[in-house]
Structure 1
């Protein structure tokens, strides 16, 4: 595969992230799909979508190899979620040129959610401002003293990571309103889950660690198996 770079590893919240940079415009089929089986749903997709899928699966295989899975094909499941080995939880994300994945044993993690997002453009801001963050969340993000584009990119990505980490338990799509930002610092966000989710999961809050990588933000939510959370939420 010549369109994709070598595996890079980064540590975040004590977890190893597996990253692969890639150049989607250099993706050539079938040369660059030889090691990854494309699902039928992508057979007629644009080469851009195929390149993103392959890059994400390559990064996921990097994570699985460390767990001893050297020949596992990650299929697409319900809601387009990755089908991990039975004893594994994991998460995959990609932007236009970076794919990132994380995986761990179910014995250690209830859920893992990772997301990578390129910094939002001005056009993006006009489309999402007021949709992904409430006025109170905007006020908390403003305390980070970063440009609005970075603030909204961060909270958008963080909520995606929250939802990915919770998916193995809820098995459905969630709304931006299901997680509300209650605390923000230079490397971590804390979200309060909706009352309905708290009753369903016995979990009131989620912490999301993050780092900026060039013009991307990478966010990660980890839910350890021994995680305890008060049912009355964060104050």
Structure 2
């Protein structure tokens, strides 16, 4: 697992958040009965990823001072967090991360991990708005399309805790600043978020992994 990635993310995190990691390549151990039910028909790789996410989440719960608890999967496939807790789970490139906080402090959290590779060209139009596609064509690194995808995924997760609405990729338009920060502007109505809401986040790369982080403080 990437110690550099974990350290870089922790340097960005506000206070009152807990980040924990697990290996998604390890055996699918430690599932509680309520969790194992959801994976009864899953292929082995999916079971390992799911179990790693739950192990990381329980480690983060312990950091928050919360007792161990089951984290079942809701019908919409989102984690069902223990009362008083909100969080996000992501896995990719040989690492699984869980980021948790208390729901009295945080309205939503979003974390996404992606390989540091360009998106396939035939998916760029699906992921990127016309304005974003224009910036992608000017990007010498070839990674901007994947960074946009990663930022949108993290934003979707963060807002979903409040809206329970699945957005399309063109419902958000992302712009980056020189320091790795980004703003994801909502281009549609998504109660409780009105159009033109801007979600602030951070994007980073360590080695062959891209990460994006969005935290929504409770107002």
Structure 1-normalised TM-score? 0.79
Higher relative contact order (CA 8 A, sep 6+): 2
What is the CA–CA distance in structure 2 between the aligned matches of 1:114 and 1:108, rounded to whole Å? 17
Taking only aligned residues, the RMSD between alpha carbons, in angstroms, comes to 2.5
Give the superposition deviation at 1:205. Answer: 0.6
Unaligned runs of 5+ in 1: 227-235
Unaligned runs of 5+ in 2: none
Select the residue among 36, 52, 67 that pairs with 2:31. Answer: 36
Structure 2 match to 1:12 = 12
Give the superposition deviation at 1:48. Answer: 0.7
What is the CA–CA distance in structure 1 between the aligned matches of 2:2 and 2:55, rounded to whole Å? 10
What is the CA–CA distance in structure 2 between the aligned matches of 1:141 and 1:19, rounded to whole Å? 33
Q: Contact 2:151 / 2:174 at 8 angstroms: preserved in 1?
A: no
Structure 1 match to 2:45 = 48
Seen in structure 2, the aligned counterparts of structure 1 residues 147 and 19 have a Cα distance that, compared at 3 Å, is farther
Select the residue among 151, 170, 179 that pairs with 1:177. Answer: 170
Give the superposition deviation at 1:47. Answer: 1.2
What is the CA–CA distance in structure 1 between the aligned matches of 2:137 and 2:103, rounded to whole Å? 36
Count of residue pairs the alignment pairs up: 211
Tell me the secondary structure at the aligned position of residue 125 of structure 2.
coil
Select the residue among 206, 209, 224 that pairs with 2:217. Answer: 224
Q: Contact 1:11 / 1:17 at 8 angstroms: preserved in 2?
A: no
Matched, 1:130 2:125: yes
